Every structure is written in structure tokens, then in C-alpha cells.
Structure 1
Amino acid sequence: MSIEIKMPALSPTMEEGTLAKWLVKEGDSVKAGDLMAEIETDKATMEFEAVDEGVVGKLVVPEGTDGVKVGTVIMLLDGEGEESAPAKKDAAAETAAPAPKKEQVDAPVDRETGEKVSVENPENKRPAAEAQAPVQASAQPQAAAAPRRDGERVKASPLARRIAAEKGVDLATLAGSGPNGRIVKADVEGAQPAAAAAPSQAASWPTAAPAAAPAPAQIPDIPHQTTKLSNMRKTIARRLTESKQQVPHIYLTVDVRLDKLLKLRAELNESLGARGVKLSVNDLMIKALAAALVQVPKCNVMYTPNELVTFKRADISVAVSTPEGLITPVITEADTASLSSISTRMKDLAARARDKKLKPEEFTGGTASLSNMGMYGIKQFEAVINPPQGMILAVGAGEKRPYVIDDALGIATVMSATGSFDHRAIDGSDGAELMQAFKALCENPLGMLA
């Protein structure tokens, strides 16, 4: 019997993926641990391994297919000497009752001609009107389907749904001619978008006015090119929209003097040069944020509908730009890790993030996030919280500014940092305390090394 191999969920946020490449072909023998496919998730391209052994009977989903839902059968794996079962027939055809067979009985003899007369079994004979009744009854819903109430599921084939979306036809207003009133391609092709709302207006029960679908973007008549949205870009769009709609953000900004931190960095890099380690300002920002979160645990939290989760260590998600969008690899235990360890891990994670080679556990979790745009010369910005985390720190560029030093006006290297906080979980005063702790650690950086 064939084993159905289904699209796996390769990350906690994965709902669908792209079957980028098959690494096997039909007829190949595979065993547990063999690589079978490359699958593009919302964050990375990952290799899919076999967990059973057998012979590849059929590759159900062609390589390069987008939007394959988790749980969809993508391959049939046969045992040795077996063949894949043929595709299942339409469910309606399988359940349809077979027509009753006509049975012959002993034929009577016509008295006038002496010939036998063939007749059907009386049990199989019904009046014509009775025989036609079921057909008329089954056809009646297709000819004039009752309007559907709000929220009632519309039965339609995937092809019919796609055509309806392209034509702007409301499926709820159509009568299906398929099995059990299912809407099929022919029903949609003959429908007119302008008349789609008419049947629902004649309903005998009150219905709410349907929400207007957003109009498709009108592309100006200007030379242009279009790029298909990647799974990563779709996920970024969905999650950031949810964050801004559902998470009440509060923003707090501090100016941080960096002179001591830059001096310490130079001294550490001089001593670490023999080990091939070169600290970046971003590495020190990760350490400072992690240490501040441990000092102010009220900000190292996650909000849930029924409880507030407070973490006992600081794992920092760091925004990394890739050709397809942002991804946030995680520096675990950043509060206790050495600066050299943070630097080495960050370089490795960033390189593999750009190559889409991160493992799910390397970009999920995290108790807070850091986004640094200082290298682009951005002075200040406000980052969007990465749910379910409670905060994210946005770091700008360090620049020479007039600054009061020892009660006298001077020039200092100053950086603006803005914390975005989930106001459901973190009060303004708690967020201010965290920003104060972060500023103090950056301006007296030996404190983060103790």
C-alpha cells in the first residue's frame, strides 16, 4: 500500500510553501534520512528528508509549485514490488447508487399470435411520473439555489473560485450545477459581476451588506516590471500588518553618548585580532540590550490573552536584511554570552540568513528584538514589534553632535535609540526604566562585561 508523503510544516509560522526542487525521481529507492526535496518556507529554503523507506511511486506536486498547503500530499511512496494506486475517483461518482438491473421473468404467450411477450419485472416498473420525480427533485436546487445566509459555506471547486475571483463574481449568489449544488467552472463563466448581488436582495431573511472588496491596485501606464511575491515577503506583510493592527505600540527615545563604548571596542578588537574576532558596534548593542532586559525584567516579557510571561534570560532577535526581506536570527543567552561569542555567532547567522540556510530554531523564539540602521546613516526610526515579543529596540547612527559634557558644551559621538513597547504588557514607566538602563550600559560599557 502506498504511503502518502505530505507537505511538512518546517517552521512554526509555515502555512504553505514552495516545492522548489525534487531531489528524487519516480522509480528511485529511498531510505530514512535520504534527501527528497528542497522546500522554500516563509523564512528559508530547507531540505526535506525521508522518514520511511520504499520506492518513489509518483511525484504528485511538480517542482516549482507555489502555495502548497501544509498537509497536502506531494508524493506517493511504494513498498518494494508495489505500484501506486490510481488517483481516486470523484467522491460523487463513488457514492452514486448503481441503477437497478432489469430482470426478465417468464414471458407470457400472446393468445392471438402464439408468440412470447417480453416484459420487465413488475418490481422494477414504476409509473413514469414516479420515475422522473427524483430527477426533477435533484435538479431543482441547481436551477434555483436558495440564497445563502452570511457565514454559510459556499461549495465550489478550486477552479471555480479562481475564475470567480478574477471576474469579481460573488460565489454566494450563484446556483451550482455540480453534485450537491457544488459550483463548477461552467456556473461562474456564465455569471455577470454586475448582477451578482441581485439574488441576495430577494432573500426572505435580512442579510448584512457584504464588505466591499479592496479594489485592485491601478498600475500607472509607465514602463515598469513586476516581481512575484516570495513566501518570505508575504509572511512579512501579514505579520507586520497584524502587529500594527493588534499591538498598541508606545515609543520611547533616548540619546546615548558612545565615546567610551567606541574606545572600549577599539581596545577589545586590538586584543582579539590574533583570534580573528572583530567586534562591531552592533555586537555591543546586542549585549547592552540583553543586560538591560535582565536588569529590568518587567520588559523581558510576552503578552498572552490570559497571562503575562516573564523570561529569566535574554535571547535577542536581530534584524538581518536579505534580498527577499528581513529575517531575525536569534542570539540565545546574550545576557551571559561573551562579546566574542556574540560576534562570531552573529556573523555566521547573518551569512546563512542571506543564503536562506537557517534552521527553524535559529530564527524563532527570542525575548526581544534589535534593529540597527545606523550603517545607512539613519538618525532615528521606530521599529514594528515582532509578535509575540513585548519590545524591539531601533538603533540609529552614531554622529558628532553638540553635547553637554561636565556642565560645558562640547562635541560628542551621540546615537539615538528608540524602544517600541507592547503597551498591553509594558507600562510607559517600565519602558522608560529599560531605556535608562540601556543608556547607562552604553555610556559606561564596562558594566555590561561584569
Structure 2
Amino acid sequence: MSIEIKMPALSPTMEEGTLAKWLVKEGDTVKAGDLMAEIETDKATMEFEAVDEGVVAKIVVAEGTDGVKVGDVIMLLDGEDEGSAPKREAPAKEAPKAEAKPEPKKEQVDAPVDRETGEPVAPDNPETRPAAKSQQAPRAEGDRVKASPLARRIAAEQGVDLSALTGSGPNGRIVKADVEAAPADQAAAAPRGEAETSQRAAAAPAPAATSAPAAVPDIPHETTKLSNMRKTIARRLTESKQQVPHIYLTVDVRLDKLLKLRTELNESLAARDVKLSVNDLMIKALAVALVQVPKCNVMYTPNELITFKRADISVAVSTPEGLITPVITEADTASLSSISTRMKDLAARARDKKLKPEEFTGGTASISNMGMFGIKQFDAVINPPQGMILAVGAGEKRPYVIDDALGIATVMSATGSFDHRAIDGSDGAELMQAFKALCENPLGMLA
């Protein structure tokens, strides 16, 4: 039995990936749990394990191939019961005998199997092949041509019109051999049926629409191919700005007490080799504020509003290929030392693309800190399906009213972006007020 090994979805947002490296070769025997390949997703490079046992019959997708769609066949595996496949079809031979048609059916049962698709291939017997073709007229269900996934992919690559082919597979299904045997002039044949026409019409202008060189000015430049991560960031943030109505609320936060507490805590934690960053305290403050104002710790769905009982904070981390958001779970109840230790570990593995899917998905809200770059204030884009994200700017010395007198204080601007479908402006303002209070009186977040 031929088993199709398909491109897996290794993360919730993965639609395609890069087959970075094969860890097996054709002829190798694999069993469940064996590592077969390294696959680069939109977020990380992960190892793909076998779930079936057998012998690697053919590697369909070459090592280093980009843009492999989830569900595409990447390998063919010969299962251990390969030789018993015809026996399982034995009952099918009895029914034809009852109809006094024994001989033609035997040839169909014993037909060779296409190693690419695992489908029976009609024998090249001139006496039997015409008969097989005569039964293939009803191969389409409505306007949809019946073809194997591999045949469809090869046809799309070679520009072959499937509706112009006669299938040799079961019930007239088109298989790989039919596409490869198609005359060259069929690649230019007009598609039959409204569905095929619309598909080709959509496909035809695509190269021109996405062909960047035509729009590039005649200026010295270099071109960098988009990574899977960059493509996903572009798609998700475009969807967020198009589909999520953002509302922005900004507060100025005095940091003097928080910075003093941080210094004292770091002195006491030095023996444990833990050093808190300002961002660690921002994570904690946002998490506690979300629990205090649960109306902002939410997720919007078309029919429901989900309110979370704890705060898991997604933290924006910059990597060479783009942003990724590892999650600090239960940040509202976690100690500052735990948040700091976990954040350092997650950030390091994020830059090495070694995060597991559960480590960068599922947060209830996000935080993005650009203070280290000297950015005073900015508006962040919400990370769907979350309901809000906090943008943290740099702390700087500013004129500030202290005890009814003008003085100098370390002040930071923080902006919350809220999904207005789920969070009203007054609720967002309440969260920003709670966040400001926790930062200005930081002992409250430790209680």
C-alpha cells in the first residue's frame, strides 16, 4: 500500500512552509516516531516525525523547496502491507462473477499501482484500454474534473487543461501518468466549464500583479526573497487593519518609583543571577491590570465575546526575519523573577527559530516595547484574535507636576490599541488608568 506523506500544519497560522532538510532518503525504512524532515514554518524550524511505518518509496518535494502548501504530498511511503493490497479487493471479484462477467474484472483487480499516487493504472493492453476509456465519460461530478491532488499540481505547473484529458484511474479519475502523457498542445487548450474558466482567468494576471521588478525604479538595489514569517506577518497585519476597528488611548506614566524598585529587586536577586528589565515589570503591570479590568481581557468572535480568567501576555520579539510573540503564561500570578527568566529563554529561542507552537500562540493580550530604540510613542497593530495590544515608549526626563509643583520626572508614554468591536472606549480608558496606577505605585503589582 502506497502512503502519501503530506506537508503538515506545524503551527496554527501555517499555510505553507519550506522543506529545509530531509533526514531520510529513498529506500530507508522508517517507523512511527522517526524524524523524517526539518520544516521551516512561518514562525520556527521544526522537525517532522513519521506516524506510519514503511519504506521511503519516493521523495516528491526536493530539499530546500520554498512555498510548499499545507496538504501537498511531499513523500510516498510503501507500507508493510504493500503486497496484500490486491487480496483486500477479492470480494469485488465475486460480484462480477454473479453477473457472468468474470474475465474483465480480473484485469482491473490485478492492475499495476502508480507509485506516485497509489492508484490502480489501467494496463497497456490495446484490447482492454479502449474499454476502460469508454467507462470514463462520467468522471466529472457537475463541472468538477475528478483528478488526484498530485495530478492537479503537475497540471497547474505545466499548464495542462485537465478537462481535455481522459483519466485512466478508478471511475475515470485523472492521475499523474495521464497528465505527463498529455500532448503539448493541450497545455494551451481552452478550459471547459465555467469553474475552469474562472480559475484560469484568476491565475493568468497573477504573475503581472505580483511581479515586483516591473515597478522597481532604475536605481542600484538588491532583492531579498520574502521569508515565510514575513509573508505571514504581512497577511495577518493587513487583515487586522482591514477587519478590526482600532481605537487608541495614550497615557503618560511616571516611572521613578518603578525604577527605584527595580534597582532594589535586582540587588536582592543578584545571587540568583536574575536581572529584571523594565519590560519585565511592564509585562507584570499589564497582566495585573487586565485581571483588574476583565472587560479588556477578551476575544471577539462573530457570535460570542470570550472573557479570560487569567492574563497570558504575548511579548513582541524582534528577529532577523520579523516579529514573533512568545507568550508569558499566567503573567498576572507569576513572580517577576519567573517572568524575567522565561522571557530571556523565549526571546533567545525565538531568534533561533526554536520555539514550539504552544509557546507563541494563545495569549490574551500583547505588549510591544520600543523604548530601547528611543521611540517616544507609537500605535501598535492588534494581533488577532486578541482584543488589545499595549505599545510602550521610552522613559525620558520631562517636566512634570509633582505635588502641585513643576518638577522633572522620568516619564513614559504608553498607548493601548483596542478592538472597538469588543472593548468600549471607556473600558479601554479604565485599563490604561489601572496600568498607570500600577506602574506609578509598583508595590501594588507584587501584592
TM above 0.5, yes or no, is yes
Q: What's the CA shift for 1:56?
A: 2.2
Q: Which has the higher helix share?
A: 2
What is the aligned counterpart of 1:430 among 421, 427, 432? 427
Contact kept in structure 1, 2:46 and 2:354, CA below 8 Å: yes
How do 1:328-347 and structure 2 match up within 5 A? 328-347=325-344
Residue 301 (str. 1) matches residue 298 (str. 2): yes
How do 1:303-382 and structure 2 match up within 5 A? 303-382=300-379
Match of 1:447 in 2: 444
Contact kept in structure 2, 1:249 and 1:422, CA below 8 Å: yes
Q: What's the CA shift for 1:283?
A: 0.2
Q: What's the CA shift for 1:27?
A: 2.0
Residue 37 (str. 1) matches residue 65 (str. 2): no
> 2: CA distance between counterparts of 1:441 and 1:178?
70
Contact kept in structure 2, 1:30 and 1:56, CA below 8 Å: yes
> 1: CA distance between counterparts of 2:361 and 2:184?
42
Q: Which runs of 5+ in 2 are unaligned?
A: 84-111, 138-142, 168-173, 195-203
What amino acid does structure 2 have at the position aligned with 1:291?
V
What is the aligned counterpart of 1:408 among 405, 424, 430? 405
> CA, structure 1 residues 307+262, in 2 after alignment: closer, same or farther (shift >3 Å)?
same
Moved more, 86-95 or 379-388: 86-95
Match of 1:111 in 2: none
> 2: CA distance between counterparts of 1:431 and 1:26?
58
Match of 1:232 in 2: 229
What does the per-residue CA deviation read over 1:413-441, in whole Å, with 9 as the maximum and x for residues that have no partner? 00000000000000000000000000000
Q: What's the CA shift for 1:338?
A: 0.1
Contact kept in structure 2, 1:319 and 1:372, CA below 8 Å: yes
Match of 2:11 in 1: 11
> 2: CA distance between counterparts of 1:249 and 1:20?
38
What amino acid does structure 2 have at the position aligned with 1:87?
R
Aligned partner of residue 437 in structure 2, secondary structure:
helix
Give TM-score, length-normalised by structure 2: 0.76
Computed over aligned residues only, the root mean square deviation of the Cα atoms, in angstroms, reads: 3.7
Moved more, 67-76 or 40-49: 67-76
Aligned partner of residue 396 in structure 1, secondary structure:
strand
What amino acid does structure 1 have at the position aligned with 2:361?
T
Match of 2:115 in 1: 87
Contact kept in structure 1, 2:76 and 2:116, CA below 8 Å: no
Q: What's the CA shift for 1:9?
A: 1.2
Match of 1:59 in 2: 59
Which structure would you say has the larger Rg?
Answer: 1
Aligned partner of residue 404 in structure 1, secondary structure:
strand
Residue 266 (str. 1) matches residue 294 (str. 2): no
Residue 223 (str. 1) matches residue 251 (str. 2): no
What amino acid does structure 1 have at the position aligned with 2:36?
M
> 2: CA distance between counterparts of 1:176 and 1:31?
39
What does the per-residue CA deviation read over 1:374-396, in whole Å, with 9 as the maximum and x for residues that have no partner? 00000000000000000000000
Contact kept in structure 2, 1:301 and 1:390, CA below 8 Å: yes
Contact kept in structure 2, 1:28 and 1:55, CA below 8 Å: yes
Q: What's the CA shift for 1:53?
A: 3.0
Contact kept in structure 1, 2:365 and 2:389, CA below 8 Å: yes
What amino acid does structure 1 have at the position aligned with 2:39?
I
> 1: CA distance between counterparts of 2:338 and 2:129?
81
Q: What's the CA shift for 1:50?
A: 1.8
How do 1:184-199 and structure 2 match up within 5 A? 186=185
Aligned partner of residue 362 in structure 2, secondary structure:
coil
Number of residue pairs matched by the alignment: 383
> 2: CA distance between counterparts of 1:331 and 1:314?
9
> CA, structure 1 residues 441+101, in 2 after alignment: closer, same or farther (shift >3 Å)?
closer
How do 1:155-166 and structure 2 match up within 5 A? 158=153
Paired-residue identity, %: 81
Q: What's the CA shift for 1:284?
A: 0.2
Contact kept in structure 1, 2:255 and 2:410, CA below 8 Å: yes
What amino acid does structure 2 have at the position aligned with 1:362?
E
Give TM-score, length-normalised by structure 1: 0.76
> CA, structure 1 residues 223+447, in 2 after alignment: closer, same or farther (shift >3 Å)?
same
Residue 287 (str. 1) matches residue 284 (str. 2): yes
Q: What's the CA shift for 1:321?
A: 0.4
> 1: CA distance between counterparts of 2:424 and 2:298?
12
> CA, structure 1 residues 57+247, in 2 after alignment: closer, same or farther (shift >3 Å)?
same
> 1: CA distance between counterparts of 2:14 and 2:22?
19
